[in-house]
């Protein structure tokens, strides 16, 4: 029943008047907002990056082809999901505890690329959200806000994307990329009912952040976060529907994320 209700709300939100919802969904345009995980995938400089090794690849002694691989990676890297536990408190929800309803919602794409590309330290502000609302109306309840900074075009070049090609602890002080103003994060918590917020940079807090206040505000409010989101330039500012499904890691503070958008 819950799935039927969600599907009905989805179709209503997207203006579907067809009797056959399956046909509507099949005819929609789907956009993959996920970077593939491979050896060049960008991770926080101090995190364990993605690696993949071969378990077996070839013809078995029984005469048939078989392939299997093993991979290692930290939760937070590539296109990934931050659960409230990440910067909340010890009892904050973990990845597998997030309700399915919170993993989907109307897409709100706030394009600040012109400002952010001219200022690597740009902070997305309340005025940016109000400017969006002046064109499209109040952000829908349960929406997923995606901040388009324009930095997705630099993936996976570390220097252009993150501001440094150094690795390890030494790199952290050199990170330079846009993020969300903590005051704007608090404004969203106090004034809007959103499911999640994401962006096309490595962190919801800008690269020069030390205290990660935007993370802390959002995680304490149990709003989930998506980072290193791809292809935001392929979405309309309003009218898409987002589905974001993290790997279901029990007790996880985050997880690799497969995020897609439906555009009617």
Nearest to 77 by CA among 261, 262, 253, 251: 253
pLDDT digit string (tens) for 174-200? Answer: 999 999 999 999 999 999 999 999 999
**What are the structural domain ranges in the chain?**
2-47+75-263
Q: Specify the pLDDT at position 3.
A: 42
Say if pTM beats, i.e. exceeds, 0.85. Answer: yes
Query: Are 201 and 178 spatial neighbours (Cβ–Cβ below 8 Å)?
Result: yes
Low pLDDT (below 50) residues in the chain: 1-6
Strands (DSSP E) contained in 64-119 are 65-72, 80-82, 104-111
Q: Specify the pLDDT at position 27.
A: 81
How far does the chain reach from its first CA to its final CA, in angstroms?
Answer: 24
Q: Specify the pLDDT at position 1.
A: 44
Q: Using H for helix, E for strand and C for coil, what is the string for 139-203?
A: CCCCEEEEEECCHHHHCCCHHHHHCCCCCCHHHHCCCCCCEECHHHHHHHHHHCCEEEEEECCCC
Nearest to 152 by CA among 253, 242, 31: 31
Q: Specify the pLDDT at position 57.
A: 98
Query: Are 59 and 185 spatial neighbours (Cβ–Cβ below 8 Å)?
Result: no
Q: Return the CATH number of the domain spanning residue range 2-47+75-263.
A: 3.50.30.50
């Amino acid at each position: 029943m819950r799935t039927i209700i969600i599907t009905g709300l989805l179709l209503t939100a997207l203006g579907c008047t067809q009797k056959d919802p399956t046909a509507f969904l099949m005819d929609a345009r789907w956009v993959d907002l996920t970077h593939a995980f491979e050896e060049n995938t960008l991770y926080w400089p101090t995190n364990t990056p993605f690696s993949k090794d071969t378990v077996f690849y070839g013809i078995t002694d029984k005469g048939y082809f078989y392939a299997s691989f093993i991979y290692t990676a930290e939760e937070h890297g590539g296109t990934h999901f931050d659960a409230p536990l990440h910067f909340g408190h010890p009892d904050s929800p973990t990845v597998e505890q997030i309700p399915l309803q919170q993993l989907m919602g109307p897409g709100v794409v706030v394009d600040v690329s012109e400002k952010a590309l001219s200022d690597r330290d740009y902070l997305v502000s309340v005025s940016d959200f109000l400017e969006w609302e002046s064109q499209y109306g109040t952000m829908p309840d349960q929406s997923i806000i995606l901040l388009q900074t324009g930095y997705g075009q630099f993936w996976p070049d570390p220097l252009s994307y993150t501001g440094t090609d150094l690795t390890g602890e030494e790199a952290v002080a050199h990170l330079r990329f846009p993020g969300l103003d903590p005051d704007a994060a608090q404004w969203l918590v106090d004034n809007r009912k959103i499911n999640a917020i994401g962006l096309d940079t490595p962190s919801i807090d800008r690269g020069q952040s030390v205290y990660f206040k935007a993370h802390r505000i959002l995680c304490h409010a149990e709003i989930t976060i998506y980072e290193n989101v791809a292809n935001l330039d392929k979405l309309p500012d309003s009218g898409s529907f987002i589905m974001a499904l993290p790997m279901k890691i029990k007790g996880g503070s985050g997880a690799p994320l497969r995020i897609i958008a439906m555009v009617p």
